[in-house]
A and B are shown apart, each in its own frame.
Chain A
Amino acid sequence: MTQGDAEPIRLPMAELQVAKAADRQFQLPKEPPTEDYRKLLFELEAAGEIEVLRVPEPFVEVDTKFGRKKKVPLENTWHHKSCGQCGHIPGYSTSIFWLNREFGFNYHDPREQTSCTAWNYYASSTSNPAAQAAVACRNFAQAKLDGYFPLIHCGTSYGHYKEVRAQLLHHPELRNQVRKILARLNLPFVFPEEIVHYSEWVHVMREKIAERQVRDFSSITVTVHPACHYHKLVVEDAIYDADLYDGQRTAIVSGVVTALGAKVADYSTWHDCCGFGFRHILVSRDFSRSFATIRKIERMKEEADPDVTLTHDTGCVTTLDKSQFSTQAHNRNVGIPVMSDAQFAALSMGAHPYLVCQLHWHGVDMKPLLEQMGIDHEKAWKEFEEVADKLEKSPESYLTWEEV
């Protein structure tokens, strides 16, 4: 037999029907590859080492990355505020509180709270694990004393506290150090059953928010930027949903956008960081600006041309928003308004764009977006200016919740 007469060799693989990527269905592993932190927490509690702060009822259970269920409390929450949100984008935190108030939920906005101090930790490393764990546990102890469950506003606090949790669970010497410190402060050693981010609260409330929606968002196209410290720093705990991105990307933010009838548009650098950099955003912003605009904003513009970009963390809103101004001088293709999911949700329910959402603290022009939402921004700004004039004449007075 010559070579030309040979029967073609049929390898077994040639018989396999390989599905196209688009037709494949993602399946979770039968057993999560990670340890169950709650089991370890309860074991430490049973051994008398720590007290576990239970998620109060009512709560909603949601799926996390590897299919475990996570409890997200609806109320009786201790609002662990974010320094970047409260300091530079105050409409972010205000919108979270406003949503809670609209639903009549009991919550506490404490003065006995420090920042997690992790922005500084990741920027300068002028701290150590014992200090970071003590700062976290001091806040948690205060939440217990106040009778509430911590709801974390900042993505970095959320990620860092998960990191602290892993260190405490695995290192008895660290637990001993923290125990000694808390004893000096006369505080109990408690750790919450779940680390819960406010955007998870927004996610589980999305249908309720949609029921109260008064503004039509159906013409609005949104790109979503997920915060690195939400779903990468410690991958456990982040919310995933089989109906969103086939369960392969976190469902956070995209879930509420979909529930409110707006369109989520995909883009190729969805997984990329915003460029915040912790140290960079404050003292080396040429990097932050370049990354935010070239890798994120321009990609979104070219591939999705959204009306707004939504994210769910302090640094991401700041970096994506503020980086756009100066890059216009370089004729970069920028100009996308940036806000948080909480502000977007609040606007859908009729919140005032300036008195509640405080959009005048943001950089990119929001007016076209507000018009698309059916908001008379000129009238709204006049209302804000009237309030500001009144406050200017009365230095001891403040805008109250009742007035908004």
Chain B
Amino acid sequence: MNPIYKDARYTEVPYEEKLKLFDAVKSDMRYPHELHGCYECGICVAACPSARFFDFSPRVFAQTMAREDVHSFYELLNDNVWDCSQCFSCTCCPRQNNPGGIITIMREVAVNDGLQSAKDALQAYSRIIYKVMSTGTQVSPDMLQPDFFPDWGPDVRDVSLNLDVWRRAIPPETMHTVELAWDVSEKTRLELYMIWKLTGNLEMIENVDEGLYMILEEVMEELLEEHGYDIDDFDNILED
């Protein structure tokens, strides 16, 4: 099947490849809750922050999926899907569509398939994935470095220079941490690692960043072994 637009992109990608990914989105258990048809009213676009600064439209996602336009879907999957802010302002849809929810599923499909566009979008983001998967907290005080947040002003430098003392100058006992947002117990991190293994999350990471996957596997293996577990004893239960 040929694309319907003259300026179609990704014409070299076989239709079957695009259809496989399109079907992966449509068969997701969440999909029937996210799309119910589209009036093309554009209310979602008016509410969308990304639409104001990117060539991005939640309406186009809803329309493309509703029309089952596989070629345009593949373009969106590669060129637009990572622009979404995931704020879900688009849920103001009078047909109860959730374009942001469709995009969440599309991103997962892009990651699972290891699309180069997904790798590119997440390249600078790896350290954040490492932090949340290995510690259970997504951002930490030691991330506040002037070279990472030069646009946030001099207070970032002040925090960075005084980090150890300023963290100890916070009353809650759980928050005297520098590398974690709060003190997560070892038992809890162990349980988190088991969840990642049992749900195939490490395999998802491997699809987009093999180096990060290897580091995470090593960190988790070490803690699991310390507690008498074998990392290979946690097969992905979703494949049952």
Contacts and interface: CB of A to CB of B under 8 A. Distances in A.
A362 B104 CA distance: 31
A348 interface: no
A377 to B, nearest CB: 15
A228 B33 CA distance: 19
A228 B169 contact: no
Contact of B107 (A88, A125, A387): A125
Nearest to A328: B153
Given A123-B125, A125-B107, A229-B88, A87 B168 contact: no
A373 interface: no
Interface string A109-123: 111111101011111
A291 B87 CA distance: 13
Contact of A362 (B125, B138, B155, B201): B155
A218 interface: no
Contacts of B137: 83, 86-87, 114-115
Contact of A228 (B89, B162, B188, B192): B89
Size bin of chain A's contact surface: 35 or more
Contacts of B88: 159, 228-229, 232-233
A273 B87 contact: yes
Contacts of A123: 86, 125, 128
Contacts of A322: 149, 151-153
Given A97-B172, A360-B158, A88 B192 contact: no
B124 A283 contact: yes
Contact of A111 (B29, B87, B174): B174
Main SS at interface, chain B:
helix
Contacts, number: 266
Interface string A317-358: 000001001100000000000000000000000000001101
A225 to B, nearest CB: 12
Interface in B50-88: 50, 52-54, 82, 85-88
A188 interface: no
B125 A361 contact: no
Contact of A112 (B53, B165, B167, B188): B188
Nearest to B174: A109
B228 interface: no
Nearest to A389: B165
A291 B155 CA distance: 22
A384 interface: yes
B155 A401 contact: no
Interface in A62-114: 81-88, 90-91, 93-94, 97-98, 109-114
Given A180-B237, A362-B155, A138 B171 contact: no
Given A125-B110, A272-B89, A387-B169, 17 more contacts: A86-B181, A114-B192, A120-B138, A125-B104, A126-B201, A128-B108, A129-B30, A138-B195, A159-B88, A181-B198, A276-B85, A277-B49, A279-B125, A325-B152, A326-B151, A391-B168, A401-B171
9 contacts: A109-B173, A109-B174, A117-B136, A135-B195, A181-B198, A272-B49, A279-B122, A283-B125, A360-B158
Interface of A: 81-88, 90-91, 93-94, 97-98, 109-115, 117, 119-131, 134-135, 138, 142, 159, 166-167, 170-171, 173-174, 177, 180-181, 184-185, 187, 228-229, 232-233, 235, 271-273, 275-280, 282-283, 285, 287, 289-291, 295, 322, 325-326, 355-356, 358, 360-363, 384, 387-388, 391-392, 395, 397-401, 403-404
